[in-house]
């Protein structure tokens, strides 16, 4: 089993699972809010086409949770908007 | 990273690409088989544990994790710019496949609403069902395997069309008895799991605050107008209205395209699967949505011909039969534009509503989807119109009082960069310039 954290909570995954699949299995449905409406989003297409499931992994924002393979000890967190608000001026 | 050029680069390691690579290699060509994913198989062959359909002879040719973001034409071949470096080849076979096509409805952006292919990918690729009470909806034969795989977790299948439409195409069905058996097997499986299968019924709204907890389904009359609505509780929705071919690379290369019978933009291929651009072949869904079997046959034809051999006649006969079936399928599962309410979100990324799209035409004078894109931003977001392109084109055409054209769809499908790249990817190769 692989273990990672999501917004501070410990989550387990099977080896080879994507971050998105592991979060889905753990009962999470959303981990991003939209830039304009602040609406919750999670997995939609599941194959890297829609970019709805963006997530922050080990400090790197904008990763597609459906395509990003989870690794033991990963620190995963929700993404707000573009996930780069610190760059906004 | 630049290696010596391959004879043939096959882009996409799904059913079409694998068949193309195997056929070309079998005739002595040096092949590079590229795929954006970490493992070959595409969306169709997902093998989590051990089971691997990839022929051993091909394994050394596979370049996994190579997302092709641009193809450049040179005098003696092509340069494929990928997220893992450049690959050169004299001939290119594009087999990039397709993804679920969507028609927007109120609530389709709620977490818990998935594409049908997404639900299948989660289950078959990762062993995770998308919910415990799943509504499967949309149109087309693909809904059946999705529901059959989720088994007792499915609350109901809501097919907007009706498979009885195949009765209008007895010859196409007779030429493909295997398809009939396959369909019957899935329907039996649904019956075995006591999953209700409703025809001429669509999900017209999804309800919930931060996740879906119910949908409204409606019977559709002959004109596809919703009648007799009812609400159904669920914790997930898997929805798809056919497929959208992934055309970035054929469009970059300048390949001719056309509107196919299912309303999709597809690249035009000749009898040997050649595109209109010399040195470019097409196989699988990029030249017309028809399923994995057809993709394999087209791949085998393309691979053999690209390697300088004459494809077997039996392959050409098989392709003709499977294409006849695909045409019958498109006629049976016709997809309309739908009539989403004004406040329905069309573009999920930029959160653009139906009203904003219509106003761009009616009030601001746009006459095509490109114009609407510049005015209201549908297709300008992260997915670059992949998800909303078809629906936007339909809504714009409807507001303009005309049918959708190939040019409408081209305007929303042309993407100079076909996959997300880092600045590092872009900087690579600059020193050579």
pLDDT one-digit tens code per residue, B104-134: 999 999 999 999 999 999 999 999 999 999 9
| Nearest chain B alpha carbon to A53 | B111
Q: Which position has the higher pLDDT, B423 or A12? A: A12
What is residue B80's DSSP assignment? E
- Report yes or no: A74 at the B interface, CB cutoff 8 Å: no
Determine the Cα angle at B186 with ends B184 and B191, to 5°.
95
Q: What percent of chain B has pLDDT over 90?
A: 85
Domain B102-241 has CATH 2.102.10.10: no
- B134, B153 Cβ separation under 8 angstroms: yes
- Report yes or no: A3 at the B interface, CB cutoff 8 Å: no
Contacts of B115 in chain A (CB under 8 A): 44-46, 50
Helix (H, G, I), strand (E, B) or coil at B28: coil
CB contact under 8 A, A49 and B99: yes
Contacts of A47 in chain B (CB under 8 A): 43, 99, 117-118, 121
| Average confidence (pLDDT) over B305-324 | 97
Residue A85, C-beta contacts closer than 8 angstroms, at least 6 positions apart: none
- Report yes or no: A43 at the B interface, CB cutoff 8 Å: yes
Buried b (16+ CB within 10 A) or exposed e, B113-127: bbbbbbbbbbbbbbe
Secondary structure of chain B as H, E, C letters: CCCCCEEEEEECCCHHHHHHHHHHHHCCCCEEEECCCCCCCCCCCCCCCCCCCCCHHHHHHEECCCCEEEEEEECCEEEEEECCEEEEEEEEEECCCEEECCCCCCCCCCCCEEEHHHHHHHHHHHCCCCCCCEEEEEECCCHHHHHHHHHHHEEEEEECCCHHHHHHCHHHHHCCHHHHHHHHHHHHHHHHCCCCEECCEEEEEEEECCCEEEEEEEEECCCCCEEEEEEEECCEEEEEECEEECCHHHHHHCCCEEECCCCCEEECCCCCCECCCCCEEECHHHHCCCCHHHHHHHHHHHHHHHCCCCCCHHHHHHHHHHHHHHHHHHHHCCCCCCCCCCCCEEECCCCEEHHHHHHHHHCCCCCCHHHHHHHHCCCCCCCCCCCCHHHHHHHHHHHHCCCCCHHHHHHHHCCCCCCCCCHHHHHCCHHHC
| Average confidence (pLDDT) over B195-205 | 96
Q: Distance, in angstroms, between B278 CA and closest chain A CA?
A: 29
- Give me the interface pTM, i.e. the ipTM: 0.96
The beta-carbon neighbor of A21 closest among B109, B117, B122 is B122
Distance CA A51, CA A75 (A): 20
pLDDT higher than 70, residue B266: yes
CB contact under 8 A, A43 and B118: yes
Q: What percent of chain A has pLDDT over 70?
A: 94
The beta-carbon neighbor of A34 closest among B37, B118, B351 is B351
Mutate to test the interface with B, among A13, A18, A44 (most CBs of B within 10 A): A44
Check residue B168 and give its pLDDT. Answer: 93
Instruction: Tell me how many residue pairs between chain A and chain B have CB atoms under 8 A apart.
Output: 94
Average pLDDT score, chain B: 93
pLDDT higher than 70, residue B80: yes
Name all domains of chain A by residue range, CATH numbers in brackets: 2-81 (3.10.20.440)
CATH 3.50.50.60 occupies which residues in chain B?
Answer: 6-99+244-331, 102-241
> What six digits make up the tokens of B147?
């529901």
Check residue B399 and give its pLDDT. Answer: 95
Contacts of A54 in chain B (CB under 8 A): 382
Q: Where are the beta strands (DSSP E) in A2-86?
A: 2-6, 9-13, 32-33, 40-41, 54-57, 60-64, 75-77, 79-80
Distance CA B126, CA B108 (A): 23
Q: Enumerate chain B positions whose Cβ falls within 8 A of a Cβ in A.
A: 36-38, 43, 48, 99-100, 109, 111-115, 117-119, 121-122, 125-128, 130, 210-211, 348-351, 381-383, 386-387
Q: Which position has the higher pLDDT, B46 or B98? A: B98
CATH class of B345-413: mainly alpha
- Report yes or no: A11 at the B interface, CB cutoff 8 Å: no
Contacts of B126 in chain A (CB under 8 A): 14, 16-18, 21-22, 25
- Report yes or no: A15 at the B interface, CB cutoff 8 Å: no
CB contact under 8 A, A51 and B349: yes
- B85, A13 Cβ separation under 8 angstroms: no
Tell how strand B197-198 and strand B77-82 pair up. unpaired
pLDDT higher than 80, residue B428: no
Mutate to test the interface with B, among A43, A53, A65, A78 (most CBs of B within 10 A): A43
Fold of B6-99+244-331: FAD/NAD(P)-binding domain (3.50.50)
Check residue A43 and give its pLDDT. Answer: 98
CB contact under 8 A, B210 and A41: no
The beta-carbon neighbor of A24 closest among B113, B128, B210 is B128
Q: Scanning the structure block, which residue is given the tokens 């499931």?
A: A53
Distance CA B262, CA B268 (A): 15
- Report yes or no: A42 at the B interface, CB cutoff 8 Å: yes
pLDDT tens by residue, B235-263: 999 999 999 999 999 999 999 999 999 99
CB contact under 8 A, A47 and B99: yes
pLDDT tens by residue, B212-229: 999 999 999 888 888 899
Q: Scanning the structure block, which residue is given the tokens 């092949």?
A: B31
Distance CA B199, CA B182 (A): 18
Buried b (16+ CB within 10 A) or exposed e, B343-370: ebbbbbbbbbbbebbbbbbeeeebebbb
Q: Distance, in angstroms, between B207 CA and closest chain A CA?
A: 14
Report residue B156 CA to chain centroid gap. 24
Other CB atoms within a 10 A radius of the CB of residue B55 amount to 14
The beta-carbon neighbor of A21 closest among B37, B126, B210 is B126
CB contact under 8 A, B119 and A46: yes
> What six digits make up the tokens of B284?
């699988």
Distance CA A75, CA B4 (A): 40
pLDDT tens by residue, B332-369: 998 876 778 999 999 999 999 999 999 999 999 999 99
CATH 1.10.10.1100 occupies which residues in chain B?
Answer: 345-413
CB contact under 8 A, A48 and B36: yes
CB contact under 8 A, A30 and B111: yes
Distance CA B103, CA B333 (A): 14
């Amino acid at each position: 089993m692989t273990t990672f954290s999501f917004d501070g909570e410990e989550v387990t995954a099977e080896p080879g699972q994507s971050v998105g699949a592991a979060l889905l299995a753990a009962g999470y449905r959303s981990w991003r809010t939209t830039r304009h409406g602040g609406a919750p989003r999670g997995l939609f297409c599941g194959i890297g086409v829609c970019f709805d499931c963006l997530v922050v992994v080990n400090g790197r924002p904008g990763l597609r949770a459906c395509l990003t393979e989870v690794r033991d000890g990963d620190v995963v967190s929700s993404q707000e908007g573009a996930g780069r608000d610190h760059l906004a001026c | 990273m630049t290696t010596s050029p391959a004879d043939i680069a096959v882009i996409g390691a799904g059913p079409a690409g694998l068949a193309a690579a195997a056929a070309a290699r079998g005739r002595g060509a040096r092949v590079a088989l590229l795929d954006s994913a970490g493992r070959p198989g595409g969306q169709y062959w997902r093998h989590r544990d051990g089971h691997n359909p990839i022929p051993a002879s091909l394994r050394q040719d596979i370049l996994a994790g190579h997302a092709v973001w641009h193809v450049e034409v040179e005098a003696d071949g092509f340069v494929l710019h990928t997220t893992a470096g450049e690959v050169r080849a004299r001939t290119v076979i594009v087999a990039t496949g397709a993804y679920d096509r969507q028609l927007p409805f109120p609530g389709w952006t709620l977490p818990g609403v998935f594409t049908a292919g997404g639900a299948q990918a989660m289950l078959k690729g990762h062993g995770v069902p998308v919910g415990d009470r799943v509504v499967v909806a949309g149109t087309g034969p693909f809904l059946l395997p999705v529901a059959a795989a989720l088994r007792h977790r499915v609350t109901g299948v809501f097919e907007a069309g009706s498979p009885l439409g195949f009765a209008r195409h007895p010859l196409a069905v007779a030429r493909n008895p295997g398809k009939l058996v396959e369909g019957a097997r899935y329907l039996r499986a649904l019956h075995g799991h006591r999953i209700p299968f409703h025809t001429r019924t669509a999900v017209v709204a999804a309800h919930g605050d931060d996740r879906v907890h119910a949908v409204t389904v409606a019977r559709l009359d002959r004109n596809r107008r919703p009648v007799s609505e009812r609400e159904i509780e669920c914790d997930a929705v898997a929805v798809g209205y056919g497929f959208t071919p992934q055309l970035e690379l054929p469009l970059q290369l300048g390949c001719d395209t056309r509107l196919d019978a299912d309303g999709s933009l597809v690249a035009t291929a000749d009898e040997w699967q050649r595109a209109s651009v010399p040195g470019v072949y097409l196989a699988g869904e990029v030249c017309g949505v028809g399923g994995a079997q057809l993709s394999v046959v087209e791949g085998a034809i393309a691979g053999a011909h690209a390697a300088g051999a004459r494809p077997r006649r039996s392959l050409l006969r098989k392709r003709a039969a499977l294409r006849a079936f695909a045409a019958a399928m498109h006629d049976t599962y016709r997809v309309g534009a739908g009539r989403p309410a004004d406040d329905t979100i069309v573009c999920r990324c930029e959160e653009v509503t139906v009203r904003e799209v219509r106003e761009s035409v009616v009030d601001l004078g746009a006459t095509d989807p490109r114009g609407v894109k510049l005015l209201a931003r549908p297709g300008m977001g992260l997915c670059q119109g992949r998800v909303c392109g078809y629906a936007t084109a339909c809504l714009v055409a409807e507001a303009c009082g005309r049918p959708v054209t190939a040019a409408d769809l081209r305007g929303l499908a042309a993407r100079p960069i076909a996959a997300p790249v880092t600045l590092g990817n872009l900087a690579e190769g600059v020193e050579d310039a």
